[in-house]
Every structure is written in structure tokens, then in C-alpha cells.
Structure 1
């Protein structure tokens, strides 16, 4: 699969992911892509190694007296397995381990959002949302622009828009300057993992009316 991937995670996003500062919805997309792409996995490991070297050269600081109690207290906190190195959730068909972990090991629960397109929201919070999109082969998504950043990772099939073609494993990075009509390839239906930090801006009246119902 890796040899077909031509759209990768930019270095700045990878650095933010490794540092733990990337919002959770985007971190899920990055973790999933890294699990599919040897090139980005190597980049991920390089960033980890660079971060470790920086830590080794930081001057020691005195520890507070309550550090031991705070560390022991944190052992009961929930852990998010969005790291491709630690996430051991098995792949289920087209869904890599990080996606299956977000789905809690269950099959997606699809809901129609019109035009034959279906979605399954896998994460939603103050930082944004991540969802699976199922787009019938040959069908377009309504024309839209973006209120912020959108990462879209192809898991099955593919799609094209004004920026090019995206195959399995490819990531499209869209910002508020891009207005497009992603159209699924003929053949297999297109299934994507998409993450946003702001609502989309649809051009058509009907999508705008329905948008609040589908939290897009």
C-alpha cells in the first residue's frame, strides 16, 4: 500500500503530533496515516528521536515535594491510544488499528446525510470532530469551503478535486482558502476519515439548511 501513497503528513503537523500538541481529531488522522505509510512512520520516529535528544540536553530542575503523589494519582487517569507505536488494536478490513480503537472495536454506525453519502462520527469535542465518510462511487460531495483546517485520509477507493487525486493512504489538507467538490472515483465506494476544527461552509442552500442536523 505504501508505494501508492503520494500525499503525506507535512513536517509541521508531524512535529505537533509527536509533541502531543495536535488536537485529538487531527491526531487520529495522523496516527492512522502513519500506521499505513512507511515513509511517514520513519518521519514520525525521526521526530521522536529528535525530541528525545532535546530532552537529554535540558538542564535538570529540582522536583516539587508532591511530585510522587501526583504521579501515583495520575495512574488511574484514562489513556488515549492514538500513538501508532503503542496502539495494538487490530485492523478490521479497511479500518486500521487507530480507527478501530476510536470505534471501540465495533463496526461503524452509518447515518445518511443525503445524496447517498453516509457518515459515522467517531470523535467530537471542543477541539473539533473526526468522522468516517462513505461516498458512493462516482458521486460528488456538495461544493464547500472550510472555516478552519480539514484533514481527509482515504481508507478505501479514492477521490479527486481541484487539487488532484487522492488514493488509499493519501491525506488531503484543506484550509479556509480551498473551495472544492470532492468526487469519488468510479469502482469502489470511497471511505475516508476526515477531521475538522470548524464547520464546513457549503455553497448550496440545502446543505446549509441540513448542516446543523449532521454536525458537519
Structure 2
């Protein structure tokens, strides 16, 4: 897999520090599982963070603190090896209960589908299915949108994005992503604010589809 578009250092540092909303953290974890370069960079940031903690003075724990933490964690989960049809990275399969066949899609029109994933407040995560050759309505952003390609590819005003590539869209970006011909494009996307559609119909349906 040839990945050309990577996570920023700022996102990797925030992830290593545990400062990202869950939806953004899911995108980062999924990309890191697909990208050797970002996985190595994340390990570097985590090592630096560990060294900083090692330099701090030790703090005594209360009696029974370890037992209390272990009790809250519960029994260890036994994870079965993935079957061949589980074609999504492990970090994402946990939110779906399986692979592609487990996704509960909702039609958005023109063949485009989405599946909103259960994450905590602060940002939303969703899977997007874009048929080959189909465009997503032209839109801008009121915040940040992370879009990770899992299958197929799309093009927009920025570049081409294939499997493993991540597009980081901010308020400055206005684009019309178009799935390449030949294969449907499936993406994992996370947003921390509603999109800004230009056409009337997408704006009208936006509250219904929670985009």
C-alpha cells in the first residue's frame, strides 16, 4: 500500500497525549494501523511523552488503587482472529461488530450511503460509501474534517486520495470529492462541526442526515 497523505504532527501529538475527541482518535488509530511511517512517528512522540513523565517526581498511590482500577476494567476480552471477510482495520471493526458486511448503511441519495458510528461528544465519525464515478455535493467546513480512504479512491481540488491516505480539511477548504471510476470509495470521516453545503437540497437535508 502506497500512502502519500499522512497525519500531521499536531494530530499525532494530541493522540499520544489523549487529547483528541473519540471520533478523531478513531480515524488516527485506523490510519496508524495502515501506515508504517505514522506508526513510527507516533511511537517517537509516545517515547518523548514517557521520558517527560519519567522526569516527574513520583506520587504515592493510595492503598487498593491498583485493585480498584483492575475491578473497573473487568475481565479481559478474548479477541478472535479476524476472518477473511473482516476487511477493515481492527480499530474500526470494534465499532462495527465485524467487517464490511456488518455495516448498517443509510442512503443519502445518488447511491451515496453513510453509517454513523457510536462515539462520544465533541466530534462525529461515520463511514461513507461513494459509488464509482459519483461526486459528494460541493461543500466547505465549519471546523475540521478528517477523511481516511479505506477502499477505492477519490479526487478533489487538493489531490488524489487512495487507500490509507488521509485528507485533513479545515475551514479554508471548499471541495467536491469524486470517487474514481472502477470501484466504489469507502471512507472513514470525522467532523467536529457541520459541513457547509452550497446547494439548497443538501442544506435542506443536512439536519436529517446529521452531516
1:144 matched to 2:142: no
Q: CA contact under 8 A between 1:89 and 1:98: conserved in structure 2?
A: no
1:209 matched to 2:207: no
SS at match of 1:120: strand
Cα distance change of structure 1 residues 70 and 214 upon mapping to structure 2, 3 Å threshold:
same
1:17 matched to 2:10: no
TM-score (ref. length: structure 2): 0.89
- How many pairs does the alignment contain? 207
27-36 vs 50-59, which deviates more?
A: 50-59
**In 2: Cα distance, 1:146 partner to 1:94 partner:** 30
SS at match of 1:55: helix
Name the residue aligned to 2:34.
Answer: 36
1:99 matched to 2:97: no
Q: CA contact under 8 A between 2:149 and 2:164: conserved in structure 1?
A: yes
TM-score (ref. length: structure 1): 0.87
Name the residue aligned to 2:184.
Answer: 189
CA RMSD between the two structures? 2.3
What per-residue deviation string (whole Å, max 9, x for no partner) do you get for residues 41-62 of structure 1?
1112111211111111111234
Name the residue aligned to 1:82.
Answer: none
Structure 1 segments, 4+ long, off by >6 Å, are: none
101-110 vs 20-29, which deviates more?
A: 101-110
What per-residue deviation string (whole Å, max 9, x for no partner) do you get for residues 109-150 of structure 1?
111001210011113442111111000111110011111110
Cα distance change of structure 1 residues 120 and 141 upon mapping to structure 2, 3 Å threshold:
same
Name the residue aligned to 2:59.
Answer: 61
What per-residue deviation string (whole Å, max 9, x for no partner) do you get for residues 51-105 of structure 1?
11111111123445674575355334999xxxxxxx9873745411111111122
